[in-house]
Structure 1
Amino acid sequence: MTLTKIEQAMVTLKENGFKHTKKREMMLSYLAKRNRYIAAKEIHHYLDDAFPGVSYDTIYRNLHDFAELGLLEETDLNGEMKFRFHCCQDGQHHHHHFICTVCGKTKELDLCPMDYFAEQLPGCVIEGHRFEILGRCEDCQ
Protein backbone atom coordinates (compact mmCIF):
# COMPACT_ATOMS: atom_id res chain seq x y z
CA MET A 1 0.00 0.00 0.00
CA THR A 2 1.40 3.39 -1.00
CA LEU A 3 0.80 6.25 1.38
CA THR A 4 0.08 9.76 0.17
CA LYS A 5 2.54 12.53 1.05
CA ILE A 6 0.17 13.75 3.75
CA GLU A 7 -0.25 10.26 5.21
CA GLN A 8 3.53 9.79 5.22
CA ALA A 9 3.93 13.14 6.97
CA MET A 10 1.36 12.18 9.60
CA VAL A 11 3.22 8.90 10.23
CA THR A 12 6.46 10.88 10.67
CA LEU A 13 4.72 13.16 13.17
CA LYS A 14 3.39 10.20 15.16
CA GLU A 15 6.81 8.50 15.14
CA ASN A 16 8.22 11.70 16.66
CA GLY A 17 5.69 11.97 19.45
CA PHE A 18 3.14 14.31 17.86
CA LYS A 19 -0.59 13.55 18.00
CA HIS A 20 -2.57 13.22 14.78
CA THR A 21 -4.89 16.21 14.78
CA LYS A 22 -7.20 17.57 12.11
CA LYS A 23 -5.49 20.97 12.37
CA ARG A 24 -2.06 19.49 11.63
CA GLU A 25 -3.44 17.44 8.77
CA MET A 26 -5.18 20.51 7.31
CA MET A 27 -1.99 22.58 7.61
CA LEU A 28 0.04 19.97 5.73
CA SER A 29 -2.68 19.47 3.10
CA TYR A 30 -2.92 23.22 2.51
CA LEU A 31 0.84 23.51 2.04
CA ALA A 32 1.02 20.46 -0.23
CA LYS A 33 -1.79 21.71 -2.47
CA ARG A 34 -0.35 25.23 -2.84
CA ASN A 35 3.19 24.04 -3.74
CA ARG A 36 4.73 27.43 -2.94
CA TYR A 37 6.22 29.24 0.03
CA ILE A 38 3.46 30.42 2.36
CA ALA A 39 3.53 32.71 5.39
CA ALA A 40 2.17 31.49 8.72
CA LYS A 41 -0.47 34.25 8.66
CA GLU A 42 -1.95 32.82 5.43
CA ILE A 43 -2.24 29.39 7.05
CA HIS A 44 -3.72 31.02 10.16
CA HIS A 45 -6.34 32.76 8.02
CA TYR A 46 -7.18 29.46 6.29
CA LEU A 47 -7.48 27.48 9.54
CA ASP A 48 -9.41 30.20 11.33
CA ASP A 49 -12.37 29.50 9.02
CA ALA A 50 -12.52 25.86 10.15
CA PHE A 51 -11.33 26.45 13.73
CA PRO A 52 -12.39 29.95 14.83
CA GLY A 53 -9.97 31.37 17.38
CA VAL A 54 -7.11 29.02 16.49
CA SER A 55 -3.88 30.39 17.96
CA TYR A 56 -1.38 31.96 15.57
CA ASP A 57 1.42 30.91 17.93
CA THR A 58 0.30 27.27 17.75
CA ILE A 59 0.34 27.37 13.97
CA TYR A 60 3.78 28.99 13.88
CA ARG A 61 5.19 26.51 16.41
CA ASN A 62 3.79 23.58 14.40
CA LEU A 63 5.31 24.92 11.18
CA HIS A 64 8.73 25.08 12.84
CA ASP A 65 8.28 21.57 14.25
CA PHE A 66 7.32 20.29 10.80
CA ALA A 67 10.42 21.94 9.31
CA GLU A 68 12.69 20.39 11.96
CA LEU A 69 11.30 16.97 11.05
CA GLY A 70 12.05 17.59 7.37
CA LEU A 71 8.40 17.78 6.34
CA LEU A 72 8.62 21.43 5.33
CA GLU A 73 11.21 23.67 3.78
CA GLU A 74 11.52 27.18 5.18
CA THR A 75 13.00 30.39 3.88
CA ASP A 76 13.06 34.05 4.79
CA LEU A 77 11.40 36.15 2.09
CA ASN A 78 11.15 39.89 2.54
CA GLY A 79 11.86 39.59 6.26
CA GLU A 80 9.17 36.97 6.90
CA MET A 81 9.56 33.23 7.42
CA LYS A 82 7.67 31.22 4.82
CA PHE A 83 7.12 27.50 4.55
CA ARG A 84 6.38 24.98 1.82
CA PHE A 85 5.75 21.27 1.82
CA HIS A 86 9.06 19.52 1.22
CA CYS A 87 9.11 18.64 -2.45
CA CYS A 88 11.15 15.45 -2.01
CA GLN A 89 10.23 13.68 1.21
CA ASP A 90 12.56 10.76 0.49
CA GLY A 91 15.55 13.09 0.09
CA GLN A 92 16.62 11.32 -3.09
CA HIS A 93 16.25 14.13 -5.63
CA HIS A 94 18.78 16.88 -4.90
CA HIS A 95 17.81 20.22 -6.38
CA HIS A 96 17.43 23.91 -5.61
CA HIS A 97 14.72 26.51 -6.23
CA PHE A 98 13.87 29.73 -7.95
CA ILE A 99 11.46 31.50 -5.56
CA CYS A 100 9.13 34.31 -6.59
CA THR A 101 9.44 37.09 -4.02
CA VAL A 102 5.88 38.26 -4.74
CA CYS A 103 3.72 35.11 -4.76
CA GLY A 104 6.11 32.50 -3.32
CA LYS A 105 5.81 30.18 -6.33
CA THR A 106 8.83 27.92 -6.74
CA LYS A 107 10.51 26.27 -9.70
CA GLU A 108 13.00 23.43 -9.39
CA LEU A 109 16.57 23.93 -10.55
CA ASP A 110 18.42 20.69 -11.23
CA LEU A 111 21.82 22.35 -11.49
CA CYS A 112 23.81 22.49 -8.25
CA PRO A 113 26.75 24.92 -8.00
CA MET A 114 28.42 23.07 -5.12
CA ASP A 115 31.01 21.31 -7.28
CA TYR A 116 32.45 24.71 -8.17
CA PHE A 117 32.50 25.86 -4.54
CA ALA A 118 34.01 22.59 -3.31
CA GLU A 119 36.93 23.16 -5.70
CA GLN A 120 37.43 26.62 -4.14
CA LEU A 121 37.61 25.18 -0.59
CA PRO A 122 40.43 22.61 -0.54
CA GLY A 123 40.79 20.90 2.80
CA CYS A 124 37.31 21.94 3.95
CA VAL A 125 34.41 19.59 4.55
CA ILE A 126 31.07 20.95 3.34
CA GLU A 127 28.38 19.56 5.60
CA GLY A 128 25.39 21.07 3.84
CA HIS A 129 24.27 23.91 1.68
CA ARG A 130 21.28 25.87 0.53
CA PHE A 131 20.97 27.66 -2.77
CA GLU A 132 17.98 29.77 -3.77
CA ILE A 133 17.47 32.22 -6.59
CA LEU A 134 15.02 35.00 -5.75
CA GLY A 135 13.08 37.06 -8.28
CA ARG A 136 9.70 37.58 -9.88
CA CYS A 137 7.97 34.79 -11.78
CA GLU A 138 6.39 35.33 -15.18
CA ASP A 139 2.98 36.01 -13.56
CA CYS A 140 4.28 38.65 -11.13
CA GLN A 141 6.46 40.79 -13.40
Structure 2
Amino acid sequence: MTVEEALRILGEKGYKSTGKREALLRLLAREDRYLTAKEALRLMHRDYPDLSFDTIYRNLALFHELGIVHMTEFDGERRYRLRCPIEGHHHHLICLSCGTTQEILACPLDAMWSQPDGFIIAGHKFEVYGYCRSCAEATAH
Protein backbone atom coordinates (compact mmCIF):
# COMPACT_ATOMS: atom_id res chain seq x y z
CA MET A 1 0.00 0.00 0.00
CA THR A 2 1.22 3.48 -0.77
CA VAL A 3 0.88 6.53 1.46
CA GLU A 4 -1.48 8.07 -1.09
CA GLU A 5 -3.75 4.99 -1.01
CA ALA A 6 -3.76 5.09 2.79
CA LEU A 7 -4.68 8.79 2.81
CA ARG A 8 -7.47 8.11 0.33
CA ILE A 9 -8.87 5.37 2.60
CA LEU A 10 -8.75 7.72 5.60
CA GLY A 11 -10.68 10.36 3.66
CA GLU A 12 -13.25 7.87 2.34
CA LYS A 13 -13.91 6.68 5.90
CA GLY A 14 -14.38 10.25 7.15
CA TYR A 15 -11.06 10.75 8.93
CA LYS A 16 -8.92 13.86 8.57
CA SER A 17 -5.51 13.63 6.93
CA THR A 18 -3.48 15.41 9.59
CA GLY A 19 0.22 16.16 9.28
CA LYS A 20 1.03 13.69 12.05
CA ARG A 21 -1.00 10.91 10.43
CA GLU A 22 0.66 11.52 7.09
CA ALA A 23 4.09 11.61 8.75
CA LEU A 24 3.37 8.29 10.50
CA LEU A 25 2.29 6.73 7.20
CA ARG A 26 5.41 8.07 5.46
CA LEU A 27 7.55 6.64 8.26
CA LEU A 28 5.94 3.21 7.84
CA ALA A 29 6.49 3.38 4.08
CA ARG A 30 10.12 4.46 4.46
CA GLU A 31 10.97 1.84 7.11
CA ASP A 32 9.18 -0.99 5.22
CA ARG A 33 9.25 -3.26 8.26
CA TYR A 34 7.29 -3.98 11.42
CA LEU A 35 7.61 -1.18 13.99
CA THR A 36 6.38 -0.89 17.56
CA ALA A 37 4.55 2.25 18.62
CA LYS A 38 7.61 3.09 20.76
CA GLU A 39 9.91 2.85 17.72
CA ALA A 40 7.57 5.03 15.67
CA LEU A 41 7.48 7.62 18.46
CA ARG A 42 11.29 7.64 18.71
CA LEU A 43 11.69 8.00 14.94
CA MET A 44 9.13 10.84 14.76
CA HIS A 45 10.33 12.68 17.90
CA ARG A 46 12.71 15.08 16.11
CA ASP A 47 9.98 16.45 13.84
CA TYR A 48 7.21 16.19 16.45
CA PRO A 49 8.79 16.64 19.92
CA ASP A 50 5.39 16.96 21.65
CA LEU A 51 3.93 13.84 20.01
CA SER A 52 2.61 11.37 22.59
CA PHE A 53 2.76 7.60 22.69
CA ASP A 54 -1.05 7.53 22.95
CA THR A 55 -1.40 9.49 19.70
CA ILE A 56 0.89 7.07 17.87
CA TYR A 57 -0.83 4.03 19.35
CA ARG A 58 -4.36 5.31 18.60
CA ASN A 59 -3.44 6.11 14.99
CA LEU A 60 -1.80 2.73 14.47
CA ALA A 61 -4.92 1.05 15.89
CA LEU A 62 -7.09 3.14 13.54
CA PHE A 63 -4.89 2.27 10.57
CA HIS A 64 -5.21 -1.41 11.49
CA GLU A 65 -9.00 -1.16 11.82
CA LEU A 66 -9.18 0.45 8.35
CA GLY A 67 -6.92 -2.20 6.78
CA ILE A 68 -4.09 0.25 6.10
CA VAL A 69 -1.55 -1.61 8.23
CA HIS A 70 -0.93 -5.19 9.25
CA MET A 71 -0.43 -5.89 12.93
CA THR A 72 1.44 -8.76 14.52
CA GLU A 73 2.64 -9.43 18.01
CA PHE A 74 5.94 -10.86 19.17
CA ASP A 75 8.17 -10.33 22.16
CA GLY A 76 5.07 -9.11 23.97
CA GLU A 77 4.61 -6.04 21.77
CA ARG A 78 2.29 -5.19 18.92
CA ARG A 79 4.10 -4.26 15.72
CA TYR A 80 2.75 -2.57 12.63
CA ARG A 81 3.68 -2.15 8.98
CA LEU A 82 1.90 -0.83 5.92
CA ARG A 83 -0.34 -3.41 4.29
CA CYS A 84 1.69 -5.69 2.08
CA PRO A 85 1.61 -4.74 -1.62
CA ILE A 86 1.14 -8.39 -2.63
CA GLU A 87 -2.55 -9.03 -3.09
CA GLY A 88 -4.04 -12.42 -2.49
CA HIS A 89 -3.37 -15.14 0.02
CA HIS A 90 0.20 -15.32 1.30
CA HIS A 91 2.21 -15.38 4.53
CA HIS A 92 5.43 -13.87 5.89
CA LEU A 93 8.83 -14.59 7.36
CA ILE A 94 9.54 -11.89 9.98
CA CYS A 95 12.98 -10.96 11.34
CA LEU A 96 12.91 -10.77 15.14
CA SER A 97 15.80 -8.32 15.15
CA CYS A 98 15.03 -5.68 12.52
CA GLY A 99 11.36 -6.42 11.70
CA THR A 100 11.82 -6.86 7.95
CA THR A 101 9.55 -9.31 6.19
CA GLN A 102 9.73 -11.70 3.30
CA GLU A 103 6.69 -13.15 1.61
CA ILE A 104 5.88 -16.87 1.54
CA LEU A 105 3.72 -17.41 -1.51
CA ALA A 106 2.74 -21.00 -0.70
CA CYS A 107 0.35 -21.68 2.15
CA PRO A 108 1.59 -24.23 4.70
CA LEU A 109 -2.01 -24.97 5.65
CA ASP A 110 -2.58 -26.46 2.19
CA ALA A 111 -0.03 -29.17 2.98
CA MET A 112 -1.76 -30.05 6.25
CA TRP A 113 -5.27 -30.67 4.91
CA SER A 114 -7.74 -29.31 2.43
CA GLN A 115 -10.69 -28.82 4.79
CA PRO A 116 -10.90 -30.40 8.24
CA ASP A 117 -13.89 -32.63 8.88
CA GLY A 118 -16.67 -30.77 10.66
CA PHE A 119 -14.96 -27.37 10.61
CA ILE A 120 -15.14 -24.53 8.11
CA ILE A 121 -12.03 -22.35 8.09
CA ALA A 122 -12.91 -18.66 7.78
CA GLY A 123 -9.33 -17.39 7.89
CA HIS A 124 -5.91 -17.99 9.31
CA LYS A 125 -2.58 -16.32 9.92
CA PHE A 126 0.79 -17.98 9.49
CA GLU A 127 4.01 -16.16 10.37
CA VAL A 128 7.50 -17.56 10.75
CA TYR A 129 9.84 -15.70 13.08
CA GLY A 130 13.61 -15.82 12.77
CA TYR A 131 16.52 -13.68 11.62
CA CYS A 132 17.18 -12.21 8.18
CA ARG A 133 20.58 -12.83 6.62
CA SER A 134 21.91 -9.37 7.59
CA CYS A 135 20.93 -9.69 11.25
CA ALA A 136 22.14 -13.29 11.48
CA GLU A 137 25.52 -12.34 10.04
CA ALA A 138 25.81 -9.31 12.34
CA THR A 139 25.26 -11.42 15.47
CA ALA A 140 27.70 -14.11 14.29
CA HIS A 141 30.63 -11.65 14.33
TM-score by length of 1: 0.89
1:1-141 correspondence runs (5 A): 5-88=2-85, 92-119=87-114, 121-141=116-136
Code of the residue aligned with 1:67 in structure 2: it is H
Q: Which runs of 5+ in 2 are unaligned?
A: 137-141
TM-score, normalization by structure 2: 0.89
Corresponding letter in the other structure for 1:131: F
Deviation at residue 41 of structure 1 after TM alignment: 0.9
Deviations 1:83-118 (A, max 9, x none): 011113xx7332110001111111111011232345
CA RMSD of aligned residues (A): 1.6
Q: Is the 8 Å Cα contact of residues 96 and 108 (structure 1) preserved in structure 2? A: yes
Query: 1:115 and 1:95 mapped to 2: Cα distance?
Result: 11
The Cα shift of 1:70 comes to 0.7
Match for 2:68: what amino acid?
L
- The percentage of counterpart residues that share the same residue type is 43
- Secondary structure (helix, strand or coil) at the match of 1:107 reads strand
Deviation readout 1:32-89 (Å, 9 max, x if unpaired): 121111111111112221111111101101001101111100111211111011113x
In structure 2, give the amino acid aligned to 1:33: R
Contact 1:72 1:83 in 2 (8 A): yes
Give the SS at the match of 2:80: strand
Distance 2:21 2:113 in 1: 39
Instruction: Give aligned pairs, total.
Output: 136
- In structure 1, distance between residues paired with 2:32 and 2:104: 15
Name segments (4+ residues, structure 1) moved above 6 Å: none
Mapped partners of 2:3, 2:113: distance in 1: 36
In structure 1, runs of 5+ residues without a counterpart are none
